[in-house]
C-alpha cells in the first residue's frame, strides 16, 4: 500500500504541506504542557509567527483551559477534539480527520478485505444509509437491506457522528459481535427524507442527524457476528432476451485496486467465449471507489482520447482524464443504475451516457460529484479532504443532482422474485434499443 492512499475518488495530492502548516498555526501560543502535545500531531512541520488575530480566540481558550480547568487536562483528548472540530467547521461531511486507528481501518478497506459485517454505507441526507450488502455476509444473511438507516451501534446513537466514525464502530475483530439498531423506511417512500437537510456551507459539524428520518418506517435490531470480508468485485450470469438474443448480465460492485482488470476478464469471457449479443453492466448499489479505476472501466467501452471526466478545485488545477482506448467500443451496452449508484459509478455512467455509448436504465443516481484526497499526517492519521468537483464529458455537474436514466425502470422492492430493471433492459435489447453514439 502506497503511503498516500488512493481512495474515495482520489485527486492531486500536492497540498499536504499547506494543510499541515495551516493546522500548526492554529496551536501556536498555547500553554507549554497542552500546546506542546498538540503540536506533536504536526511534528516536523516548520511554523512561523502568525499575524495578530490569527486563531486568537482558539489560542486564548486553550491557554485559559490549561491555566484554570479544575481537573488535569488530557492533552491527547484536546488534540483529537481540536482537530476534529476544525475539520467539522468546514461544513463538508466528506472532509474528515482520521486518527491512526481509523486510518488503518480505512487502508484495510482499500486493500480489498476487512473484518466486519459486509455492507457498504454512505451519508445520504445526513443519515447513515446502507447502500448494499455483500452476498453471504453477516449483514445480508441477517436480512439488512439497501436503504436501511443505521440509528445506533452497540447502543450508542450515531447522531452527530461522521460516517467514518460510525463505520469504525461497526468493524472489529473476527468472531466478535456488534448490535445494530436499524430504521427501515416504508417501501412506498421515494426519498429518504421528508425535509431537505442543510445544503449551504455552515460552521456546524455535519454528522448524522436522526431528525431527518422519514416517518412511517420500523425500527429493527440486529446482532451480527463479525467475520473477515473479502470485498467482491464482479459477478456474472447469462440471460436470454425475449427475441432470443444472448445477454451477459455483469454486476460490478466496487472500484477498488485492480477492479477494472477483473471487469475486463468478465467481458472477455462474455464476448469472446460466451459470444453474447449484448451486455448489461449493473452499477446499482455501487458506492464508488478509486478515480483511476473509474477511468479504466470507462476505457473498456470508449475510444482512445475520449474524455471520461474532468476535475477542478481551488487548490487542484483542472485535470482532464481521457480513455486509454476501448476494448469493446461497439457491442450494445446497457447500464443499470439506482439511487445508490454513487461517485466513481456516476463517473462511468455519466461518460457512457454523454457519448451515447450506453442506455442507462433504472433510477436517478446518488449525486456525489466530489473528489476526495487522502493526506497522510505525521501521527499516522490522515485527512480525507474534498479537493475538487468533477464534471462529465458534457460538463455536467451532478453533485446533489445525480444522473437521470434514459429509461426509468426502478426495481420494485415488493416483488422479490422479479427484477423489473433487468426485465426492462432485456425488453430494450429485444426491441433493438441500443444507444446511438453521439459526441459531446
Enzyme catalytic residues: 343, 354, 368
Closest CA to 282 of 240, 329, 250: 250
Q: Which of 246, 212, 235 is nearest to 286 (CA)?
A: 235
User: Could you report how far apart the first and last alpha carbons of the chain are, in Å?
Assistant: 37
Q: What's the distance, CA 315 to chain centroid? A: 21
What SS3 class is residue 214?
Answer: coil
**DSSP secondary structure letter of residue 255:** B
3-class SS letters over 353-398: HHCCCCEEEECCCCCCCEEEEEEECCCCCEEEEEEEEEECCCCCCC
**For residue 426, what is its C-alpha cell?**
432485456
DSSP character string of 198-211:
P-S--SS---B-GG
Residue holding cell 450515531?
A: 158
Name the region of 146 (left: φ>0; alpha: ψ -120 to 50; beta: rest): beta
Beta bridge partners of 336: 282, 361
Q: Residue 326 has what DSSP assignment? A: -
Q: Which of 77, 33, 210, 224 is nearest to 142 (CA)?
A: 224
State the helix-helix crossing angle for 163-170 and 100-110, rounded to 10 degrees: 80
Question: How would you write 17-61 as a 3-class SS string?
Answer: HHHHHHHHHHCCCCCHHHHHHHHHCCCCCCCCCCCCCCCHHHHHH
The C-alpha atoms of residue 324 and residue 327 are separated, in whole angstroms, by: 9
Nearest Cα to Cα of residue 219 among 269, 182, 265, 256: 182
Amino acid at each position: 500500500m502506497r503511503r498516500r492512499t488512493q481512495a474515495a475518488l482520489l485527486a492531486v495530492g500536492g497540498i499536504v504541506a499547506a494543510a499541515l502548516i495551516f493546522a500548526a498555526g492554529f496551536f501556536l501560543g498555547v500553554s507549554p504542557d497542552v500546546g506542546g502535545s498538540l503540536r506533536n500531531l504536526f511534528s516536523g512541520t516548520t511554523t512561523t509567527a502568525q499575524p495578530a488575530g490569527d486563531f486568537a480566540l482558539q489560542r486564548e481558550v486553550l491557554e485559559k483551559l490549561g491555566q484554570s480547568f479544575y481537573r488535569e487536562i488530557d492533552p491527547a483528548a484536546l488534540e483529537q477534539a481540536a482537530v476534529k472540530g476544525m475539520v467539522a467547521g468546514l461544513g463538508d461531511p466528506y472532509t474528515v480527520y482520521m486518527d491512526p486507528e481509523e486510518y488503518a481501518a480505512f487502508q484495510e478497506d482499500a486493500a480489498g478485505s476487512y473484518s466486519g459485517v459486509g455492507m457498504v454505507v454512505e451519508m445520504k441526507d445526513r443519515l447513515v444509509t446502507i447502500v448494499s450488502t455483500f452476498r453471504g455476509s453477516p449483514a445480508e444473511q441477517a436480512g439488512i437491506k439497501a436503504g436501511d438507516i443505521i440509528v445506533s451501534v452497540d447502543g450508542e446513537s450515531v447522531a452527530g457522528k461522521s460516517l467514518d466514525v460510525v463505520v469504525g464502530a461497526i468493524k472489529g475483530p473476527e468472531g466478535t459481535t456488534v448490535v445494530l439498531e436499524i430504521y427501515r423506511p416504508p417501501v412506498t417512500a421515494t426519498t429518504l427524507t421528508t425535509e431537505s437537510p442543510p445544503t449551504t456551507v455552515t460552521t456546524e459539524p455535519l454528522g448524522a442527524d436522526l431528525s431527518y428520518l422519514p416517518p412511517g418506517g420500523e425500527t429493527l435490531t440486529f446482532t451480527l457476528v463479525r467475520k473477515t470480508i473479502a470485498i467482491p468485485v464482479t459477478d456474472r450470469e447469462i440471460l436470454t432476451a425475449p427475441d432470443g438474443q444472448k445477454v451477459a448480465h455483469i454486476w460490478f460492485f466496487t472500484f477498488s485496486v485492480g477492479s477494472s482488470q477483473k471487469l475486463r476478464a468478465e467481458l472477455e469471457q462474455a464476448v469472446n467465449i460466451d459470444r453474447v449479443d449484448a451486455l448489461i453492466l449493473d452499477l446499482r448499489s455501487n458506492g464508488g471507489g478509486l478515480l483511476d479505476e473509474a477511468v479504466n472501466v470507462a476505457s473498456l467501452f470508449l475510444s482512445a482520447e475520449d474524455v471520461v471526466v474532468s476535475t477542478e478545485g481551488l487548490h487542484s488545477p483542472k485535470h482532464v482524464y481521457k480513455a486509454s482506448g476501448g476494448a469493446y467500443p461497439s457491442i450494445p451496452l446497457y447500464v443499470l443504475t439506482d439511487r445508490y449508484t454513487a461517485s466513481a459509478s456516476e463517473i462511468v455512467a455519466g461518460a457512457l451516457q454523454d457519448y451515447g455509448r450506453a442506455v442507462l436504465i433504472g433510477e436517478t443516481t446518488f449525486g456525489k460529484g466530489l473528489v476526495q484526497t487522502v493526506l497522510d499526517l505525521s501521527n499516522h492519521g490522515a485527512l480525507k479532504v474534498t479537493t475538487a468537483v468533477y464534471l462529465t464529458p458534457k460538463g455536467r455537474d451532478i453533485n446533489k443532482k445525480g444522473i437521470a436514466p434514459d429509461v426509468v425502470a426502478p426495481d420494485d422492492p415488493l416483488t422479490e422474485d422479479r427484477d423489473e430493471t433487468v426485465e426492462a433492459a432485456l425488453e430494450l435489447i429485444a426491441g433493438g434499443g441500443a444507444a446511438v453514439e453521439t459526441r459531446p
